[in-house]
Amino acid sequence: MKSHTRPDERLRAYFLLVLPAVTIYFAVIAFPTIFSITLSLTDYSGGIVFGDRADWSFVGFKHYFRMFRDQYFWIAFKNNIWIMLMSLFIQIPLGFTLAYTIFRKLIVGREFFQTIIYMPTIISCIVVAVLWQTFFSPYGPITDFMRLFNPLWENNLANDPNLAILPVLFVMVWYYTGMYLIIFLANLQKIDSQILEAAQIDGANERQMLFNIILPALSGVVVVTAILAISGSLKSFDLIFAMTSGNPARRTSVLALYMYDNAFKGSPDYPLANAISTFMVAVSFALILVTKKLENRFGGKE
Amino acid sequence: MGFKYGRLGAKPTAGALIGRTILVLILLTFTVMTIYPILWLIQSSLKTTQEFQMNRIGLPIEPTLSNYPLAWKIGGFTSLFLNSILYTSISTIAIVFLSLSASFAFAKIRMRATKFLYQSFVVGILLTLQSIMVPLFLLTNMVGLYDTRIGILIPYIGLGLPMGVYLGTEFIRSIPDSLIESARLEGAGYIRIFISIIFPISVPVAVTLAIMTVTSIWNEFMLINILASKNSIKSLPVGILKFSGALSSDYGKQFAALVIGMLPMLIFYLIFRKHIQRGLAAGAVKG
């Protein structure tokens, strides 16, 4: 460094600037993360954690085995996978399609469409959940709509264990697709318009431009949206909590809800709850790594 | 630019025309699907519960605002609003200020600790609230902050820092070193440089960050749901849930409550739409 820098002042300033953020971050995120992994390996049941009178001991992976033997774990995990597949294969392609239609100026009033489709994303999850819960309930308008087409339609969406996840998936498409639209649109607009003009002058048709110019330019963004979809679908909680609470018969439960039930409903089972959350983080990181590997393998360029 | 590359060649083939029509139809359908439930909610809030039961999809025959004062009173919205405003404003100010000050140190003061500290913040972007929910609940209880406003504010600030530090550091790195060097030559300390040079230049990223934070804290539900049990410290999202349980068959009041809960963010969105969308695109760079 330059001669005019006084090391004392530099060091003091550095710590003054960094300390508040670092302290809060370590207290709120870093330490609890480690604490959570530790708890999942103990038999802690709510007593004293630190000091001589600490009331717990290590029990190894016992709670992970318990978790894997629990049928409710598998129901919840399966729903997370459904949500993930829906995000990857419906939300992302739909978000791209909408962004592409707007970007290619196939329609007027592009600002309007962009504004409307992104709108749900900023409304509170809870408002959205209660709204749709009423909408899909036997007393809600969905019954009137379906009877326009089929007068004998019976609304079992809320009680049939096999159907109950469908409204949840539908609402997720409604709620989050706008986010992917905006991400794709922002990145489509970064593509150099001269390249597209040149291709067009050279006689490239729409399909060639899409597959040879636009999609390759977006491969990095596709990876980012895939990561968002994967981590987002493992996180899902609020919407389902308020819309179905995981019912009927826990058939719409997800891992985060399964964890919540074990930690905060009835007698708390903290070690199991932390085993679940550790599992969620591990799966999320593993899938993100796989996505990155696939990206390298298939030559996505960033 | 002038050249409209969107208008494709003069004579599109039949296939291209069909393709374009399908794309436009998808866009139109999805847009109607998006806006309809929101409009339906607003029109339904203008019906009495009796009228709603007779007429669930039509326009209100005798529109009335009578649901609103009742919903406001039952829901205790005055206190919910005050709490939401308090949590959102304090967390936002703290997140913006703390993130930028740490970002400045990470970006412009060379220290060996930076690599480790900055990386830990970036990893934090990928961690989820779920993974720390139980420990946060236990720790909050241990230190006696359960059911207090401060016990909600501290985690809120902590959760916003990773994204703030990431965006701030990326931005401040792009500020030329010469600006800082010349201020140093004139004898300015780093703290003064931060306040009088870096912070003013960082206003664009501060605005983006503030708007992202406002939307996420205003809508936050999961954490406050486990950290607050007293009605007097609850925020809007937790308060509105009341209308899904015991009051769910009183549709008129339920819809009015949902509109009350939705309106502030909707107005905020219509004002700051550009910023919100820019923030999303910026945040998504790192996933």
| B9 vs A: CB within 8 A | yes
Domain boundaries, chain B: 68-283
| B105 vs A: CB within 8 A | yes
Interface test with B, best of A16, A121, A127 (most B CBs within 10 A): A127
Least reliable range by pLDDT among A36-45, A78-87, A137-146, B259-268: A137-146
For residue A255, the chain B residue with the least C-alpha distance is B130
Tell me how far apart the alpha carbons of residues B135 and B118 are, in angstroms, rounded to a whole number: 23
| A138 vs B: CB within 8 A | no
B235 phi/psi in degrees, rounded to 5: -105, 175
Place A114 in a pLDDT band, splitting at 50, 70 and 90: very high
Q: Which fold has domain A71-297?
A: MetI-like fold (1.10.3720)
Interface test with A, best of B3, B5, B194 (most A CBs within 10 A): B5
If you average pLDDT over residues A49-61, what whole number do you get? 80
If you average pLDDT over residues A91-119, what whole number do you get? 92
Q: How many other CB atoms sit within 10 Å of the CB of residue A154?
A: 11
Distance from CA of A162 to the nearest CA of B (A): 23
pLDDT at A162: 84
Q: For the segment A180-226, what is each residue's pLDDT rounded down to a tens digit? A: 999 999 999 988 888 888 888 888 888 888 888 899 889 888 988 99
Q: What is the pLDDT along chain B (287 residues), one digit of tens a residue?
A: 334 444 444 456 788 888 889 999 999 999 999 999 999 999 999 999 888 888 888 888 889 899 999 999 999 999 999 999 999 999 999 999 999 999 999 999 999 999 999 999 998 888 878 888 999 999 999 999 999 999 999 999 999 999 999 999 999 999 999 999 999 999 889 999 999 999 999 999 999 999 999 999 999 999 999 999 999 999 999 999 888 866 667 888 999 999 999 999 999 999 999 888 888 877 665 44
Instruction: Choose the closest CB to A28 out of B155, B189, B190.
Output: B155
* Record: contact A140-B138, CB cut-off 8 A: no
Could you write out the DSSP letters of every residue in A222-241? HHHHHHHHHHHHHH--HHHH
| A281 vs B: CB within 8 A | yes
Domain boundaries, chain A: 71-297
* Record: contact B9-A231, CB cut-off 8 A: no
| A2 vs B: CB within 8 A | yes
Tell me how far apart the alpha carbons of residues A196 and B254 are, in angstroms, rounded to a whole number: 51
| B222 vs A: CB within 8 A | yes
* Record: contact B20-A106, CB cut-off 8 A: yes
Instruction: State the average pLDDT for chain A.
Output: 88
pLDDT at A108: 87
Please name the residues between 50 and 79 in chain B that touch chain A, using a CB distance below 8 Å.
53, 56-57
Instruction: Choose the closest CB to A227 out of B161, B244, B287.
Output: B287
* Record: contact B124-A288, CB cut-off 8 A: no
pLDDT at A4: 52
* Residues in Cβ contact with A25 at an 8 Å cutoff, skipping those fewer than 6 apart: B120, B121, B124, B158, B161, B162, B165
Distance from CA of B57 to the nearest CA of A (A): 6
* Record: contact B135-A274, CB cut-off 8 A: yes
pLDDT at B285: 58
CATH number listed for the domain at residues B68-283: 1.10.3720.10
pLDDT at B58: 85
Tell me how far apart the alpha carbons of residues B190 and B199 are, in angstroms, rounded to a whole number: 12
Using a CB-CB cut-off of 8 Å, the residues of chain B touching A103 are 6
Tell me how far apart the alpha carbons of residues B223 and B231 are, in angstroms, rounded to a whole number: 15
Could you write out the DSSP letters of every residue in chain B? ----TTS--SS--HHHHHHHHHHHHHHHHHHHHHHHHHHHHHHHTTS-HHHHHH-SSSPPSS---THHHHHHHHHTHHHHHHHHHHHHHHHHHHHHHHHHHHHHHHHHS--THHHHHHHHHHHHHHS-GGGGHHHHHHHHHHTT-TTSHHHHHHHHHHHHHHHHHHHHHHHHHTS-HHHHHHHHHTT--HHHHIIIIIHHHTHHHHHHHHHHHHHHHHH--HHHHHH--SGGG--HHHHHGGGTTTTTT-HHHHHHHHHHHHHHHHHHHHHHHHHHHHHHHHHTTT-
Using a CB-CB cut-off of 8 Å, the residues of chain A touching B113 are 14, 18
